[in-house]
A and B are shown apart, each in its own frame.
Chain A
């Protein structure tokens, strides 16, 4: 009758039930195997309770101190070319909305007969748009710029600077 090998015993002690066949269970009664199981059990217990070197409680603070200081929001914003693109693009749009008289464009389009639109309703809509745009656009564009800068910072700049 063959005895349990070292591997059988280790699998047995590791709780690998798929490997526990009848042979193992029967042969665990063999005195030599019993002794081996006993020795392995003691070894397992010693390994489980072995305490390797560990870091002290102030370690986290030391690592945090070693991190580069975080850049303030406006510094992050002005460190990116994206800011210039967003600011410039939004300013350009704001100037178009503020200064361009869309009623003239509408009249011109009517004159050249490029589009057929109900003239009265269109003129009213354009006039309403012009008056609202001229009043609201600076505030609205300012808000849009701030929102875009915030999104830029949150999703692009912080991560990019963090990796750098």
Chain B
């Protein structure tokens, strides 16, 4: 499909008028961000695509309300974030702050990483990352992904998640420190096992 370049306001106006071509371009432009948010918030793979679809349908319906005060990415991101929170509440999944990961032992990761299939590549940090991220509360996982993969800054992440910039920064730093600590712990145990 030919891509049409629209500004955020033009795009929202066109979509509000029912322009499907503009909506298709919109989906292509923002599906990466939406999928990242849903992936980080929702563990159930079967529900993820339905949620993404719901998010875009909500955006389609409400595009006329976009005022251009924030970037389209943060506007859509906050729809995605709130949709995921509602889903988690509906599924009675404990929300972020209840999910403390401090008590998760680094042995959990070590055991998995020592399976024969992964043995050859266990030293590759990239392979650890996904597993390590799982130990973080969803909110911190999401902040890490938005910052490192979607290049959003503290202010944009704060707008999206309705958190003060300082809180975003503090969560991000705390999450990375936690990841590093776990990596250190895994490395130490590997040394002992040698």
Interface centre among B36, B133, B172, B176 (most CB of A within 10 A): B176
Contact partner, A60, options B31, B133, B183, Cβ 8 Å: B31
Contact partner, A55, options B35, B129, B179, Cβ 8 Å: B35
Given contacts A10-B173, A40-B176, A59-B31, contact A162 B149 (CB under 8 A): no
Interface of A: prevailing SS: helix
Contact partner, A63, options B27, B38, B129, B145, Cβ 8 Å: B27
Task: Report the minimal beta-carbon distance from A52 to chain B, rounded to whole angstroms.
Answer: 5
Find out whether the CB atom of A66 lies under 8 angstroms from the CB atom of B17: no
Which parts of A31-49 form the interface with B (CB within 8 Å)?
Answer: 36, 39-40, 42-49
Find out whether the CB atom of B40 lies under 8 angstroms from the CB atom of A47: no
The yes or no answer to A67 lying at the interface (CB within 8 A) is yes
Q: In the bound complex, what is the Cα–Cα distance between A54 and B126 (angstroms)?
A: 18
In the complex, chain B residues whose CB is within 8 Å of the CB of A40: 176, 180
Q: Which residue of B lies closest to A59 (CB)?
A: B31
In the complex, chain B residues whose CB is within 8 Å of the CB of A50: 126, 129-130, 133, 145, 148-149
The yes or no answer to B144 lying at the interface (CB within 8 A) is yes
The yes or no answer to A101 lying at the interface (CB within 8 A) is no
Find out whether the CB atom of B129 lies under 8 angstroms from the CB atom of A47: yes
Q: Which residue of B lies closest to A42 (CB)?
A: B125
The yes or no answer to B16 lying at the interface (CB within 8 A) is yes
In the complex, chain B residues whose CB is within 8 Å of the CB of A60: 24, 27-28, 31
In the complex, chain A residues whose CB is within 8 Å of the CB of B64: 159, 162-163
Find out whether the CB atom of B27 lies under 8 angstroms from the CB atom of A67: no
The yes or no answer to A116 lying at the interface (CB within 8 A) is no
Task: Report the minimal beta-carbon distance from A92 to chain B, rounded to whole angstroms.
Answer: 31
Contact partner, B36, options A43, A52, A61, Cβ 8 Å: A52
In the complex, chain A residues whose CB is within 8 Å of the CB of B35: 52-55
Find out whether the CB atom of B49 lies under 8 angstroms from the CB atom of A39: no
Which parts of A1-34 form the interface with B (CB within 8 Å)?
Answer: 6-7, 10
